[in-house]
């Protein structure tokens, strides 16, 4: 039996285990998958132990960048993005399967970042790095990161976003954890302030929220009210898991597997 898992700091909301177990059943793979919470002060030691004892693992917040120095090799695409979410332990090599999952999700739901001049990413963490690279690959002409604490040349504040977006319009991607269950207070229910979200939706060409729990977020509900194409991160979550299994098992997976697992788990 092979052994896999997900590492992160706080994982009570994770759906990764049932998703990978569904893949194992569908593909006849003899393996298990565990959820492994690691405190920041013991990350290096515990991760080195897992590299020696597991066959592979996924990486989530806040360790997608921190894991990179512990690995022997980084796939060029993950190196370019600057974040690793999948590790093949015997090779001690890191990959980024979030990118394939994100681009597959946008295509599946008909959100085209090449439509219009501008795309905006809400949040500036490791997920935003992946999203930015993907939007560029999919033809986005200009990508701007919206941050509470802008530091880079392509970053603006939310106050600036509220001023600029009605003039430019475009695709919006929430790459922050705002809106993830169980966050319900005004400051965390949506990256865009709740009092401004309906106004912003009037100018949106598409809205993608990488949050997958709940399956319909405050942001995507606003997009739906405005008649804007939208999606949450459920498709991305399943698609990146399938891509991880391709790497771990060294074999292709059926093209229909993502949708089949989503139907099986009733998470469409």
> What is the side-by-side order of every strand in the sheet holding 204-209?
155-156, 142-146, 118-122, 170-174, 204-209, 230-231
- Rounded Cα distance between 98 and 238, Å, is 10
Q: Is 64 a catalytic residue?
A: yes
Residues 6+ apart with CB under 8 A from 51: 70, 71, 87, 89, 92
Residues 6+ apart with CB under 8 A from 134: 99, 102, 103, 106
Q: Is residue 176 within 8 Å of residue 123, measured between CB atoms? A: yes
- Rounded Cα distance between 263 and 52, Å, is 35
Q: Is residue 81 within 8 Å of residue 129, measured between CB atoms? A: yes
- Rounded Cα distance between 151 and 10, Å, is 27
Nearest to 122 by CA among 145, 92, 141, 150: 145
Give CA 131 to chain center in angstroms: 8
Tokens of 219: 């942001």
Q: For residue 94, what are the β-bridge partners?
A: 74, 87
Q: For residue 143, what are the β-bridge partners?
A: 119
Task: Pick the catalytic residue from 10, 64, 93, 221.
Answer: 64
Q: Where are the alpha helices (DSSP H) in 138-196?
A: 158-168
Would you name the residues annotated as active-site residues?
Answer: 64
């Amino acid at each position: 039996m092979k052994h896999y898992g997900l590492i992160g700091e706080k994982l009570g909301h994770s759906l990764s285990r049932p998703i990978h177990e569904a893949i194992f059943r569908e593909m006849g793979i003899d393996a298990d998958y565990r959820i492994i919470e690691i405190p920041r002060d013991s990350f290096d030691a515990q991760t080195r132990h897992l590299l020696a004892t597991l066959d592979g693992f996924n990486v989530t917040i806040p360790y997608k960048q921190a894991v990179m120095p512990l690995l022997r090799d980084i796939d060029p695409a993950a190196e370019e993005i600057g974040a690793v979410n999948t590790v093949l332990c015997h090779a001690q090599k890191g990959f980024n399967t979030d990118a394939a999952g994100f681009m597959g999700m946008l295509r599946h739901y008909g959100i085209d970042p090449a439509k219009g001049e501008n795309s905006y990413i809400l949040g500036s963490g490791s997920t935003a790095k992946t999203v930015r690279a993907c939007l560029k690959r999919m033809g986005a002409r200009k990508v701007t990161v919206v941050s509470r604490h802008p530091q880079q040349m392509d970053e603006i504040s939310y106050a600036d976003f509220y001023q600029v977006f009605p003039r430019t319009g475009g695709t919006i991607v929430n790459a922050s954890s705002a809106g993830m269950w169980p966050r319900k207070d005004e400051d965390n229910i949506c990256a865009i302030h709740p009092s401004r979200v309906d106004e912003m939706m009037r100018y949106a060409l598409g809205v993608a929220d990488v949050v997958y729990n709940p399956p319909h977020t405050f942001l995507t509900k606003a997009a739906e009210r405005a008649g804007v194409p939208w999606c949450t991160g459920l498709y991305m979550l399943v698609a990146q898991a399938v891509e991880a299994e391709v790497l771990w098992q060294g074999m292709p997976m059926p093209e229909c597997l993502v949708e089949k697992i989503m139907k099986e788990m009733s998470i469409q």
